[in-house]
Amino acid sequence: MAKMEVKTSLLDNMIGVGDMVLLEPLNEDTFINNLKKRFDHNEIYTYIGSVVISVNPYRSLPIYSPEKVEDYRNRNFYELSPHIFALSDEAYRSLRDQDKDQCILITGESGAGKTEASKLVMSYVAAVCGKGAEVNQVKEQLLQSNPVLEAFGNAKTVRNDNSSRFGKYMDIEFDFKGDPLGGVISNYLLEKSRVVKQPRGERNFHVFYQLLSGASEELLNKLTLERDFSRYNYLSLDSAKVNGVDDAANFRTVRNAMQIVGFMDDEAESVLEVVAAVLKLGNIEFKPESRVNGLDESKIKDKNELKEICELTGIDQSVLERAFSFRTVEAKQEKVSTTLNVAQAYYARDALAKNLYSRLFSWLVNRINESIKAQTKVRKKVMGVLDIYGFEIFEDNSFEQFIINYCNEKLQQIFIELTLKEEQEEYIREGIEWTHIDYFNNAIICDLIENNTNGILAMLDEECLRPGTVTDETFLEKLNQVCATHQHFESRMSKSSRFLNDTSLPHSCFRIQHYAGKVLYQVEGFVDKNNDLLYRDLSQAMWKASHTLIKSLFPEGNPAKINLKRPPTAGSQFKASVATLMKNLQTKNPNYIRCIKPNDKKAAHIFSEALVCHQIRYLGLLENVRVRRAGYAFRQAYEPCLERYKMLCKQTWPHWKGPARAGVEVLFNELEIPVEEYSFGRSKIFIRNPRTLFKLEDLRKQRLEDLATLIQKIYRGWKCRTHFLLMRKSQIVIAAWYRRYAQQKRYQQIKSSALVIQSYIRGWKARKILRELKHQKRCEEAATTIAAYWHGTQVRREYRKFFRANAGKKIYEFTLQRIVQKYFLDMKNKMPSLSPIDMNWPSRPYLFLDSTHKELKRIFHLWRCKKYRDQFTDQQKLIYEEKLEASELFKDKKALYPSSVGQPFQGAYLEINKNPKYKKLKDAIEEKIIIAEVVNKINRANGKSTSRIFLLTNNNLLLADQKSGQIKSEVPLVDVTKVSMSSQNDGFFAVHLKEGSEAASKGDFLFSSDHLIEMATKLYRTTLSQTKQKLNIEISDEFLVQFRQDKVCVKFIQGNQKNGSVPTCKRKNNRLLEVAVP
């Protein structure tokens, strides 16, 4: 989530005042009190406008975390509470975005936290600038240059355990994007005297201790060193160990840093060799030796150390030894060699050590520069960080202090210049009238020191170069002459004698009234130090070293380049480098960090007012505030100003629609702030007095309280309301849920009841339907089953023939058929004749056809009989009817019958019609004649027979005489009652007549005829048809006949054959008539 932009201000939760400009009233006391107050609250940073005052907390504060970096990143300077990061950010952004080269000037006395501050600035810049492998390497190299330089240039002093003993100015170069490209380091005035001598409680440069503690045994051997500090004269013993500092570990850190910065291994080794050489130089001791001419001559006590040095550096021992004993002065082509006395020898030794070390240091700086220098030629933006000692005011101030204070004077000057310039520029920019600011310009002091003709440095140089006896006293005298009238120069000996009675001013001293206070300088050592003399013999000896690094450190030792001109003095060198620095700084936008040391004990939480007061004075901080406040104490862009105070006026609160400036105008009018108290710039409001600002702040605070109450009120109202609304809403929700729940439950109950009822009804209905459906289904199933069976049967029936199961039957049937067929066909061929009497019938071929065969035979017979019958005419039919009648009457009853079957019934045997004899007869008979035959009439009396014609008509039976044809008897058929005959083969028959009838008077007739059967049959038939009575025919071998009154028995007996076949009849008595039948 994007961090919420909270517009804050420096003025928020301020402890004391965050910006000294706002201090009211402004004086030393209030100033110190404000600092103290803030310091007590861990606010170690305070602004004076854009200057940061930093009070060394002597303990680590949690204000440099990456989070803090983020807090200050891209925020306006006055937005957050004062911090070194705010300044760093301002500088970096101004460099990156506005293309303005920056310099950060960090000043303060030793232990005030300058070096820490410079590191903080660098680390902040490193944190916020670009990232990437290359950039990171550059950053790392820049940062790692610090440990190296600190090892060689820092030492423990009474004021600071890690005091930088050189001034350092570092240009960090950036590309247009703000990514670091590299850097250039300049060093100023290494305190080289420390190499040979350290004040009580202080140490030599760290590197010596680090080397002895941290180097491996092997390395120590190589350097012919011993680990014991006490072995070395140059190392002060009383504070060889520093609390909380691990020299051995730091040594490793330094070596590592050297590697990162880009030192080759052999380079690093060479450096350590030089360090070792310096250390060993201190152990060279001299003893006096009287010479003949009475002059003292020094001699090296123990040459062993010298030998080792020479071995280490590759210098011819004799050369070095000579250099320690003689001094060659060349003047006007003349070489004069003088011996050195012990003191001179020691001086020479120390001078060599100091030079060797300080040149090594310069070489180191150059070497580092080589590594960290920007690789590209593109235009660079530069941020310079100056970590240089502030004013030094000690009890004994010497040449170094003088130089340092001069430097600070120059810095103050540039500060004033730049601040004023900036101030003025801002006024112009903002269109505010520039009012003259009364301030102390220290140009006059600078002039006192650096003036080329009568400046102190110039005079010192003059003294140093002057032939003749030159002492510090002569120098002071000269000063007294030249500067006596200078306002800022004080001396007891000055001609003006203004200070003749000033006992605080010793005779061998001069006092300069620096802008930061008066400083008393001991003149002793000025000349020497300015000369910074190294005997030529020594530099030449050094040049002769085979050790390349050492050789390169002493180029003036090269005899080929012999230069008779004196080397520039330390003073002039410094002046020149300060001038360069100033020039450099002037082209840049300055940012000031003023470091203040709160106590002398390096202890946290102690704020020594006297000490701070002193620093405030010489740093000229009050002056600083005054300059800053000269015109208008406070200025602020319109927008933040309006934003901050808009609640003070109804028109601007809560929102101002117009331009911010108009809003501020309205606001200020409304608040009735006196017009002279403020001025409207183009983009900023300028407030003359901090009072006004504080009034505004007070009003704001009050108003804020009111607003807070209002907000509280509204908030509480809102909270209660929302709470109530929430409760109500919740209540509604709960109620709704409960109702819903209750209804749901009720509904569920109803629903379940309904469901039960429904289910019963449905069940009932369903069962009903099910029953019906089941029934229906069963019907359907039954129908289907029946149909299926039916269809099955049908189909089976239809297809049975196709089934194998039926084949047997089929074959059987077929075979049977064939047999039957054959049988019939055979039968056809074997058919017997159509004669009904033919009894032939083919034999039966198969047993099983037995009944058929018989039936067939029967049918066939019936059929042929019918056929036969069908041929008959009606007459024939009649005949056969008669024959049939005869058969019925006589068959098997009368033995004669079979013989009659073959005789056709002719009836009219006698053709009466044709025979004229019977004409009469014929005429007598009117009726149709059925029989006309001749029969034998048996005489009833004797049995004799007479022929008679027998005539039968429809109604009558007539007997006529054969010969005459006379009718003898006529009997109506009605009177015929019976016909009797025997069962034998005879032709006898009796015709019985009705008793009492007319014809019966003679009795019954007895006849014999050949056609008995025919006659009897016809008689029977005619009688039946005429009288509808069946004529009784008696067949018996004994029967009675009526003869007149007598009943005669006719008896048939077996006769003999003598008469042939004609039966004979004999009357045996009245009662018997025997008929013999053959």
Ligand X SMILES: Nc1ncnc2c1ncn2[C@@H]1O[C@H](COP(=O)(O)OP(=O)(O)O)[C@@H](O)[C@H]1O
Compute the distance between CA of residue 430 and CA of residue 451 in angstroms, rounded to an integer. 37
Burial class for 211, CB neighbours closer than 10 Å (0-12, 13-18, 19+): buried
Answer for which of 81, 164, 692, 982 binds ligand X (CB under 6 A) is 164
Strands (E), 976-1031: 976-981, 988-993, 1005-1008
Compute the distance between CA of residue 1061 and CA of residue 860 in angstroms, rounded to an integer. 42
| In the complex, least distance from residue 507 CB atom to ligand X, rounded to whole angstroms | 33
Q: Which is nearer to Mg ion, 102 or 164 (CB)?
A: 164
Q: Which is nearer to ligand X, 257 or 932 (CB)?
A: 257
| In the complex, least distance from residue 106 CB atom to ligand X, rounded to whole angstroms | 8
| In the complex, least distance from residue 365 CB atom to Mg ion, rounded to whole angstroms | 15
Q: Does 60 bind ligand X (CB under 6 A)?
A: yes
Q: Which is nearer to ligand X, 167 or 178 (CB)?
A: 167
158-166, 232-240, 649-657, 709-717 -> range binding ligand X (CB under 6 A): 158-166
Closest CB to ligand X: residue number:
113
Q: Which does 595 bind (CB under 5 to 8 A by kind): ligand X, Mg ion, none?
A: ligand X
Nearest C-alpha neighbor of 930 from the set 1032, 1018, 1011: 1018
160-168, 413-421, 631-639, 715-723 -> range binding ligand X (CB under 6 A): 160-168
Alpha helix (H) ranges present in 132-246?
A: 133-153, 193-196, 206-214, 217-222
Would strands 381-387 and 489-491 be described as parallel, antiparallel, or unpaired?
A: unpaired
Q: x/- string (CB under 6 A) for ligand X, residues 79-118? A: -----------------------------x-xxxxxxx--
| In the complex, least distance from residue 124 CB atom to Mg ion, rounded to whole angstroms | 18
Backbone conformation region of residue 382, classed left if phi is above 0, alpha if psi is from -120 to 50, else beta: beta
Q: Which is nearer to ligand X, 100 or 119 (CB)?
A: 119
| In the complex, least distance from residue 356 CB atom to Mg ion, rounded to whole angstroms | 23
Q: Which is nearer to ligand X, 57 or 262 (CB)?
A: 57
DSSP per-residue string spanning 421-446: HHHHHHHHHHTPPPPP-----THHHH
Answer for which of 8, 30, 33, 162 binds ligand X (CB under 6 A) is 162
Residue burial 910-931, b: 16+ Cβ < 10 Å; e: rest: bebeeeeebeebbeebeeebbb
Compute the distance between CA of residue 430 and CA of residue 636 in angstroms, rounded to an integer. 11
Q: Are 531 and 465 spatial neighbours (Cβ–Cβ below 8 Å)?
A: no
Q: Does 384 bind ligand X (CB under 6 A)?
A: no
Q: Which is nearer to ligand X, 113 or 620 (CB)?
A: 113
Q: Does 388 bind ligand X (CB under 6 A)?
A: no
- Which pair of structure tokens corresponds to residue 173? 């170069």
| In the complex, least distance from residue 361 CB atom to ligand X, rounded to whole angstroms | 17
| In the complex, least distance from residue 43 CB atom to ligand X, rounded to whole angstroms | 12
Q: Which does 398 bind (CB under 5 to 8 A by kind): Mg ion, ligand X, none?
A: none
Compute the distance between CA of residue 975 and CA of residue 1000 in angstroms, rounded to an integer. 8
Q: Does 115 bind Mg ion (CB under 5 A)?
A: yes
| In the complex, least distance from residue 415 CB atom to ligand X, rounded to whole angstroms | 18
Site size toward ligand X, by CB under 6 A: 19
Compute the distance between CA of residue 397 and CA of residue 522 in angstroms, rounded to an integer. 6
- Beta bridge pairs of residue 298: 288
| In the complex, least distance from residue 598 CB atom to ligand X, rounded to whole angstroms | 10
Q: Are 207 and 219 spatial neighbours (Cβ–Cβ below 8 Å)?
A: no
Applying the rule CB under 6 A, the residues between 742 and 781 that interact with ligand X are none
Applying the rule CB under 6 A, the residues between 729 and 748 that interact with ligand X are none
Q: Which does 347 bind (CB under 5 to 8 A by kind): Mg ion, ligand X, none?
A: none
- Which pair of structure tokens corresponds to residue 515? 């802008």
Dihedral angle of Cα 5, 11, 17, 21, to the nearest 10 degrees? 100
Q: Which is nearer to ligand X, 160 or 270 (CB)?
A: 160
Q: Which is nearer to ligand X, 110 or 141 (CB)?
A: 110
Q: x/- string (CB under 6 A) for ligand X, residues 280-319? A: ----------------------------------------
Q: Which is nearer to Mg ion, 16 or 390 (CB)?
A: 390
Q: x/- string (CB under 5 A) for Mg ion, residues 210-249? A: ----------------------------------------
Site size toward Mg ion, by CB under 5 A: 3
Applying the rule CB under 6 A, the residues between 574 and 613 that interact with ligand X are 595
Q: Are 10 and 18 spatial neighbours (Cβ–Cβ below 8 Å)?
A: yes
Applying the rule CB under 6 A, the residues between 30 and 59 that interact with ligand X are 56-59
| In the complex, least distance from residue 423 CB atom to ligand X, rounded to whole angstroms | 28
Terminal CA-CA length for the chain: 173
DSSP per-residue string spanning 256-291: HHHHHHT--HHHHHHHHHHHHHHHHHTT--EEEEE-
Q: Which does 108 bind (CB under 5 to 8 A by kind): ligand X, Mg ion, none?
A: ligand X
Q: Which is nearer to ligand X, 114 or 529 (CB)?
A: 114
Answer for which of 163, 491, 494, 689 binds ligand X (CB under 6 A) is 163
Q: Are 912 and 932 spatial neighbours (Cβ–Cβ below 8 Å)?
A: yes
Q: Which is nearer to ligand X, 602 or 810 (CB)?
A: 602
Q: Which is nearer to ligand X, 20 or 112 (CB)?
A: 112
- Beta bridge pairs of residue 1040: 1049
Q: What number of H helices and E strands is found in the chain?
A: 32, 31
| In the complex, least distance from residue 161 CB atom to Mg ion, rounded to whole angstroms | 11
Q: Which does 113 bind (CB under 5 to 8 A by kind): ligand X, Mg ion, none?
A: ligand X
Q: Which is nearer to ligand X, 112 or 483 (CB)?
A: 112
Q: Which is nearer to ligand X, 89 or 986 (CB)?
A: 89
Q: Are 526 and 396 spatial neighbours (Cβ–Cβ below 8 Å)?
A: no
Q: Are 225 and 282 spatial neighbours (Cβ–Cβ below 8 Å)?
A: no
Applying the rule CB under 6 A, the residues between 786 and 825 that interact with ligand X are none
Q: Between vectors from CA 319 to CA 318 and to CA 322, what angle results, nearest 5°?
A: 80
- Beta bridge pairs of residue 1041: 1048
| In the complex, least distance from residue 152 CB atom to Mg ion, rounded to whole angstroms | 13
| In the complex, least distance from residue 244 CB atom to ligand X, rounded to whole angstroms | 9
Compute the distance between CA of residue 261 and CA of residue 182 in angstroms, rounded to an integer. 11
Under DSSP, is residue 623 helix (H, G, I), strand (E, B) or coil? helix
DSSP per-residue string spanning 298-310: EEES-HHHHHHHH
Q: Which does 112 bind (CB under 5 to 8 A by kind): ligand X, Mg ion, none?
A: ligand X
| In the complex, least distance from residue 62 CB atom to ligand X, rounded to whole angstroms | 10
| In the complex, least distance from residue 202 CB atom to ligand X, rounded to whole angstroms | 13
Q: Are 224 and 272 spatial neighbours (Cβ–Cβ below 8 Å)?
A: no
Q: Which is nearer to ligand X, 155 or 649 (CB)?
A: 155
Residue type at 588? K
Q: Which is nearer to Mg ion, 113 or 681 (CB)?
A: 113
Q: Does 147 bind ligand X (CB under 6 A)?
A: no
Q: Between vectors from CA 345 to CA 549 and to CA 208, what angle results, nearest 5°?
A: 45
Q: x/- string (CB under 5 A) for Mg ion, residues 142-171? A: ----------------------x-------
Dihedral angle of Cα 620, 622, 625, 631, to the nearest 10 degrees? -110
Q: Which is nearer to ligand X, 57 or 836 (CB)?
A: 57
**Residues binding Mg ion (CB under 5 A):** 114-115, 164
**Residues binding ligand X (CB under 6 A):** 56-61, 108, 110-116, 160, 162-164, 595
